[in-house]
């Protein structure tokens, strides 16, 4: 079962307009939701999912969809009907973002399964805490097969402006390694999502999930101008969400998305302070 809605966000002065959407799809006992909304405040701000989860939201990703941005938008809390962002106080104005959440389907309550099989693909997630500026290795819930895979992370500590950079992701070994920037201090909570072929299978970075589609991969950003990246297959419409996580050590600026121009690609337009070739993982979900 899939549902969706579109809306337009208008600024208080009526001069700015942002397209937004919310969508959901149910597979077994789990519901997948995604959308685009706009952050407007430097304090805790709540946003509604498209539909209420049966019990709770197990995992969430957030990614800025405004060109030339540098700072992450952390998730402070994720509940059954809404989630809360608490962005850094250096962020001003309107900050559009994509979001993705997975949780219990309506009228369902279960222990967090931490992974799900979708065709020949495994999607997994979890909460963890980074405590060091050195290499940190985290065990994943399941081992993956071979081929294209991806891992992404979203900080879940309020008022954090930097991203957690992924040093390496070894899907078949079920290991995720972080090497965060030295600007971090103390414990930093985060949520991760990883995807790839199930054990014994081979992935090319796309999975039709019966009503919605997942696509993922790894790419390299090498310019401060708009840069287009093709996905393996087109989505049915433009109501898809894309997420990025940098996949090299000791980085802190995000790789933001610009407006998409078709259903078969996404555009990164990074801040001019980022230099050289920067590798990143990406994940997209839509119909």
CATH number at residue 95: 2.60.40.3940
Which of 48, 79, 104 is at the close of a domain? 104
Q: Which domain holds residue 62?
A: 2-104
- Same domain for 137 and 231, yes or no, is yes
Q: Which conformational region is residue 232 in: left (phi greater than 0), alpha (psi within -120 to 50 degrees), or beta?
A: alpha
Reduced DSSP (H G I as helix, E B as strand, rest coil) percent helix, strand, coil of the chain, to 5:
0, 50, 50
61 and 132 belong to one structural domain: no
Average pLDDT, the chain: 91
Please tell me whether residues 9 and 148 are part of one structural domain. no
Radius of gyration of the chain, Cα coordinates, nearest whole angstrom: 17
Whether residue 54 is found in the same domain as residue 123? no
Residue pair 49/62 in contact by the 8 Å Cβ criterion: no
86 domain-assigned:
yes
- Is residue 203 a part of any domain in this protein? yes
User: In 3D, which of 118, 130, 121, 135 has the Cα closest to residue 160?
Assistant: 130
Whether 10 is covered by a domain: the verdict is yes
Residue 277 falls within a domain, yes or no? yes
Per-residue pLDDT, 168:
92
Chain centroid to Cα 156, Å, comes to: 12
Query: Is residue 150 domain-shared with residue 228, that is, in the same domain?
Result: yes
- Residue 123 and residue 82 share a domain: no
Which range has the worst mean pLDDT, 4-8, 14-18, 46-50, 221-225? Answer: 14-18
Residue 90 neighbours by CB distance under 10 Å: 10
Confidence of residue 238 (pLDDT cuts 50, 70, 90): very high
Q: What is the DSSP letter of 142?
A: S
- Residue 88 sits in the same domain as residue 180: no
Q: Do 125 and 88 share a domain, yes or no?
A: no
Per the DSSP assignment, residues forming a β-bridge with 139 are 175
pLDDT, position 158: 75
- Whether 127 and 89 share a structural domain: no
Query: What tokens were used for 85?
Result: 């962002």
Residues 252 and 124 grouped into a single domain: yes
User: Are 153 and 210 part of one and the same domain?
Assistant: yes
Residue-level pLDDT at 250: 64
Asked if the structure places residue 244 within a domain, the reply is: yes
| Closest to 197 (Cα-Cα) out of 140, 147, 142 | 147
Pair (89, 132) in one structural domain: no
Total of domains in the chain? 2
The three-class DSSP label of residue 56 is coil
Pairing outcome for strands 202-203 and 146-147: parallel
Residue 110 placed within a domain? no
What residues pair up with 279 in beta bridges, in sequence order?
220
Q: What is the pLDDT of residues 41-83, one digit of tens each?
A: 888 899 999 999 999 999 999 998 877 776 778 899 999 999 9
- Residue 249 reports pLDDT greater than 70: no
Amino acid 157: pLDDT = 81
E-only strand ranges, 28-74: 30-39, 45-48, 57-64
Strand order in the sheet with 166-170: 136-139, 175-178, 166-170
Question: Which residue, of 104, 133, 151, is where some domain finishes?
Answer: 104
- Which among 104, 132, 155 is the end of a domain? 104
Does residue 120 lie within any of the structural domains? yes
Copy the structure tokens of residue 61.
Answer: 């990703």
Residues whose CB falls within 8 Å of the CB of residue 50, separated by 6 or more in sequence, listed in order: 3, 4, 5, 22, 23, 24, 33, 35
The alpha-helical segments, DSSP class H, found in 150-266 are none
* Residue 89 pLDDT > 80: no
Give pLDDT, residue 180. Answer: 82
Position 91 in a domain: yes
Confidence of residue 169 (pLDDT cuts 50, 70, 90): very high
DSSP secondary-structure letter at 111? -
């Amino acid at each position: 079962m899939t549902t969706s809605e579109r809306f337009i966000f208008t600024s208080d002065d009526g001069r700015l307009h942002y397209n937004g959407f919310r969508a959901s799809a149910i597979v077994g006992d789990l519901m997948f939701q995604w959308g685009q909304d706009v952050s407007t405040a430097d304090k805790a701000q709540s946003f509604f999912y498209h539909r209420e989860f049966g019990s709770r939201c197990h995992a969430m990703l957030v990614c800025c969809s405004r060109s030339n941005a540098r700072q992450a938008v952390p998730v402070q809390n994720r509940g059954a009907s809404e989630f809360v962002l608490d962005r850094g106080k250096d962020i001003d104005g309107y900050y559009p973002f994509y979001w993705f959440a997975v949780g219990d389907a309506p009228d369902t309550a279960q222990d967090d399964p931490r992974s799900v099989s979708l065709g020949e693909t495994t999607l997994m997630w979890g909460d963890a805490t980074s405590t060091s500026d050195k290499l940190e290795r985290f065990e994943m819930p399941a081992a993956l097969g071979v081929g294209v895979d991806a891992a992404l992370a979203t900080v879940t500590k309020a008022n954090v402006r930097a991203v957690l950079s992924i040093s390496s992701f070894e899907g078949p070994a079920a290991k995720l390694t972080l090497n965060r920037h030295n600007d971090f201090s103390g414990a930093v909570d985060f949520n991760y999502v990883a995807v790839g072929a199930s054990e014994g299978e081979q992935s090319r970075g796309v999975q039709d999930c019966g009503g919605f589609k997942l696509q993922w991969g790894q790419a390299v950003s090498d310019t401060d101008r708009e840069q287009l990246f093709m996905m393996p297959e087109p989505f049915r419409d433009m109501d898809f969400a894309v997420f990025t996580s940098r996949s090299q050590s000791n980085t802190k600026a995000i790789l933001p998305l610009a407006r998409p121009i078709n259903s078969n690609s996404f555009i990164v337009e990074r801040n001019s302070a980022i230099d050289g070739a920067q590798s990143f993982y990406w994940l997209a979900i839509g119909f």
